[in-house]
Amino acid sequence: MANHKSAIKRIRQNAKRNLHNRYYAKTMRNALRKLRATTDKAEAQAQFPKVQKMLDKLAKQNIIHWKKAANLKSGAAKYIAKLG
């Protein structure tokens, strides 16, 4: 266990941030799943800007890597282009 006050505080902060980051990463994954489950092109195109914005925000906050965000956006765009 940590012996310094600052180390104890750092453990608390890390746990809180970890929970926060996990929530937003999971929300993003669910949004992508919902987009990929859509078979209607118009509906998918309506969802895409929201997913794109979410990915950009998470990349900006370093919750996910910016290249991962780019790959996910690219894959989603390819999926939408292939529809209907």
Domain map of the chain by residue range?
A: 5-82
Task: State pTM to two decimals.
Answer: 0.84
Own/partner long-range contacts of 41-44 (Cβ < 8 Å, ≥24 apart): 41/80, 41/83, 41/84, 44/79, 44/80, 44/83
Q: Please write the tens of the pLDDT for every residue from 22-67.
A: 999 999 999 999 999 999 999 999 999 999 999 999 999 999 999 9
Residue 59 tokens read as: 């990349």
Q: Confirm or reject CATH 1.20.58.110 for domain 5-82, answering yes or no.
A: yes
